[in-house]
Structure 1
Amino acid sequence: MGAVRKAANLTLDAALLEEARGLGLNLSAAAEQGLRAAVAEAKAARWQAENAAALASSNAWVEANGLPLSRHRPF
């Protein structure tokens, strides 16, 4: 079963819109793909911001102590 669709009004650059139509692009699919990418990027940025302290702490520990089990690494 597919995702539920909902109509939305968008304001787009007129020249870009005409070019996309001229190329036969599916505007809804292209907009959804772009929005999906923007949402993923925003979620990743939020996760990094929310976890910045833990990441810094982990990096500092590795810097001070080295990688755990590094003696077992073949390279």
Structure 2
Amino acid sequence: MPKIDDVSKICSLHSKIQEMARSLGMNMPPASDEQFATDVSRRYWERWHEVNHEAIAEYNSRIAAEGLPLAKYRTY
């Protein structure tokens, strides 16, 4: 049987997952909690990549053109 602290952590995590799901427009399916948490995480990171895609591409092109900012301090 789980300890009370473990149960409260699980409940807290579950409520955070539900909150994230609602913010992503997802409904709670009858599937297992573990699968739902995996789906929420996957969708969260997909959206994160969509939002930040332009900034990441810009950063990568700057690094390709100018090199790493602290490259002169590398010892290898």
Q: What's the TM-score bracket when you normalise by the shorter of the two chains?
A: 0.5 to 0.7
Partner of 1:51: 52
Residue 75 of structure 2 aligns to a residue whose secondary structure is coil
Pairing 1:37–2:38 present: yes
Q: Identity of aligned pairs, percent? A: 24
Q: Which has the higher helix share?
A: 2
Report which of the two structures shows the higher radius of gyration computed on alpha carbons: 1
| Structure 1 gap segments, 5+ residues each | 13-30
- The alignment covers a number of residue pairs equal to 54
TM-score for both structures, normalised by structure 1: 0.60
TM-score for both structures, normalised by structure 2: 0.59
Aligned counterparts of 2:72 and 2:64: Cα–Cα separation in 1: 16
CA shift in 2, pair 1:52/1:9, >3 Å: closer
| Structure 2 gap segments, 5+ residues each | 1-7, 16-27
Aligned CA RMSD, in angstroms, stands at: 2.4
Q: Which has the higher contact order (CA 8 A, sep 6+)?
A: 2
4+ residue segments displaced more than 3 Å? none
Aligned counterparts of 1:49 and 1:32: Cα–Cα separation in 2: 26
CA shift in 2, pair 1:55/1:9, >3 Å: closer
Shift of 1:73: 2.1
